[in-house]
Structure 1
Amino acid sequence: MAFVEIDGIALEYEWWRPQDAAAAASPVVLLHEALGSVSIWRDFPQRLAAALRRPVMAYSRQGYGRSGREDRPRGVDYLHREALHWLPRVLSALEIEHPVLVGHSDGASIALICAASGLAPRPEAAVLIAPHVEVEPEAIAGIEAADRLWRTTDWPQRLARHQPDPQRVFAAWRDTWRSPEFRAWNIEAEIPKIACPVLAVQGDRDEYATLAQIEKIARGAPRGKMAVLPQCGHSPHRERPEALIALIADFLHQLDEERT
């Protein structure tokens, strides 16, 4: 585990570097979910690096895991701020050029916004796992169900393994998405601006979204594709990691073949 300082705030990050990584292979950058951190990926980064023969880097966004937190309230534009302010600075500080962005949930939306922005360093490709492009009623219903689980199960204790202040992290996610101001959040207009190849992946039993989310990306992105994982919920990297890794590997292999 290491730290990189951005705007005076230390962000934790970690690399997984397979010994047989191809010399010219662009690194994969993992962008975690709304309650995530480096540690919440568990062994997925190591498995992904080995399968792709590429280095993989994950970092905890400000306010998550062991990273510091900026002294400002979270606004409804928090995903744009992560995509347009924090992520480019992290990539530049770690000298990462043309990454493959792989984001989950909030991290997928951040990857989408970043890929559409044209800001450097520009991604080579993007894999969006259970992305959100708008706030659906299913998302609100899922958050209400999550809130009940938070109050009646040991979820707070389990999340405390990854977050020093699990109550703050959970409340920030729940309250932002339930706020009336956030109901109008929508990034569909960004989809046609994505210049790089993009793969949108979702489980057919996602608790927080319908398949309309990835269908809009596949239709709207100039180089967009989609894949549906059967018998899978909102977290394919935990529920069906082998199938997800195979999808990512095949997607990147096809891109490599197109360039040769």
Structure 2
Amino acid sequence: MTAAPEFAAIDWRGRPLRLEYVRIAPERTDAPLLVFLHEGLGSIAMWKDFPERLCEAGGFRGLVFSRPGYGRSTPRGPEETWDVDFMHRQAHEVLPAFFEAIGLEEKPWLFGHSDGASISLLYAARFPDRVAGLVVLAPHIFVEDVTVANIEQARLAYLETDLPKKLGRYHDDVDSAFWGWNRIWLHPPFKQWNIEAELDGIRCPVLAIQGIDDEYGTLAQIRGIAGRVPGTELLELPDCGHSPHRDQPEKAIVATVSFIEERNPRSGKTRV
């Protein structure tokens, strides 16, 4: 990400927070706006240059931010733990507060990955009149055994390898980022987490992308979205794991640009 981050101040449940964010091509005032929501261990920096590449390819504007606990945003408090509804709180409370803090009034497209994709779905279901559309990569709509097993492996890697050092490149407080995500996913009651019924509230276009070799979930996740949200388009990518924007970035970009342009026709040619 080439632009320097800005910071938005919000008050969340009585606690003041600073959220880092970056705008991409704000001068394209008539272009669709894509808001990027990162994965469970992600941040602005973790996206690397993908948001800029996607926005350049489609002539879009972009807004990339780090959720509380990640990147350079305010870390979790020393005693703060996340509960089973943590993604609901991000979708229903944090995201609206962030949009209000930066003065966002238009309907953006939400581009979410993994936990960020689930948060995007929950936001669109709760606020159907506030979003233009969704592009969700490797979303979770229920908990699978394969997901829990690999998150347990991630816990062991964090304790026994140099994974903290690697993740430390992307987070000011790497323990805040890792344990906030890892502990709730491995919390036994979280196995019952399920948002399938809530998807019925989504009214916008949805493109759902998942790798066939996703180590954190099966294709039942995106097929479950298609079964609930009429008109959902699916892209199932071979030779692709949990991060289509890293494993198959060109295909993710082409599919996203085509999907959005079909619903936001403009005079300029798409550049891919």
Please indicate, yes or no, whether the TM-score normalized by the shorter chain is above 0.5: yes
The alignment status of 1:41 with 2:50, answered yes or no, reads no
Q: CA deviation at 1:171?
A: 1.8
TM-score when normalising by structure 1? 0.93
Superimposed CA distance per residue, residues 200-249 of structure 1 (whole angstroms, 9 cap, x where no aligned partner) = 11001101100000001012113312111110000111111111111101
Distance 1:95 1:53 in 2: 22
Q: What is residue 197 of structure 2 aligned with on the other side? A: 189
* 8 Å contact kept, 1:9–1:70: no
2:97 maps to 1:89: yes
TM-score (norm 2): 0.89
Change beyond 3 A, Cα 1:86–1:18:
closer
Give the direction of change, closer, same or farther, for the CA distance of 1:85–1:18 in structure 2 (3 Å limit): closer
Q: Contact 1:18 / 1:53 at 8 angstroms: preserved in 2? A: no
Q: Which amino acid aligns with 2:121?
A: L
Is the CA contact 1:18–1:50 (under 8 Å) kept in the aligned structure 2? no
Q: Which amino acid aligns with 1:255?
A: R
Code of the residue aligned with 1:13 in structure 2: it is Y
One-letter amino acid matched to 2:43:
S
Identity percentage of aligned residues: 44
CA displacement, residues 45-78 of structure 1 (integer Å, 9 cap, x when unaligned): 1101101101111111111111114654311111
Counterpart mapping for 1:197-212 below 5 A = 197-212=205-220
2:179 counterpart (171, 186, 189): 171
Deviation, structure 1 residue 87 = 0.5
Unaligned runs of 5+ in 1: none
Specify the code of the residue in structure 2 equivalent to 1:31.
Answer: L
Q: RMSD over aligned Cα, in angstroms?
A: 1.7
Number of aligned residues: 255
Contact map agreement 2:68 2:76 (CA 8 A) in 1: yes
**Large movers: runs of 4+ above 6 Å:** none
Find the counterpart in structure 2 of residue 223 from structure 1. Answer: 231
Q: Which residues of structure 2 form unaligned runs of 5+?
A: 267-272
Tell me whether 1:248 sits opposite 2:252 in the alignment: no
User: Residue 147 of structure 1 aligns with which residue?
Assistant: 155
Q: Which amino acid aligns with 1:237?
A: H
Where 1:133 maps in the other structure, the secondary structure is coil
Shift of 1:151: 3.1
Contact 2:117 2:139 in 1 (8 A): yes
CA distance in 1: counterparts of 2:219 and 2:123, whole angstroms: 22
> 2-side partners of 1:243 and 1:155: how far apart?
29
Q: Hey, what does 2:117 align to over in structure 1?
A: 108
Inter-CA distance 73–167: structure 2 relative to 1 (3 Å threshold)? closer
Distance (Å, rounded) in 1 between the aligned partners of 2:32 and 2:241: 29
Contact 1:88 1:119 in 2 (8 A): no
Output the CA distance in 2 between the equivalents of 1:16 and 1:191: 29
Question: Is the counterpart of residue 79 in structure 1 residue 87 in structure 2?
Answer: yes
Q: 1:10 to 1:119 in 2, by over 3 A?
A: farther
Q: CA deviation at 1:18?
A: 7.1
Give the 3-state SS of the residue equivalent to 2:8 in structure 1.
Answer: strand
Among 11, 24, 30, which residue is 2:30 paired with? 24
Which residue is equivalent to 1:137?
A: 145
Q: Distance in 1 between matches of 2:109 and 2:26?
A: 16
1:5 pairs with one of 9, 14, 22: 9
Deviations 1:136-184 (A, max 9, x none): 0110111122223323432211100111222232122221111111111
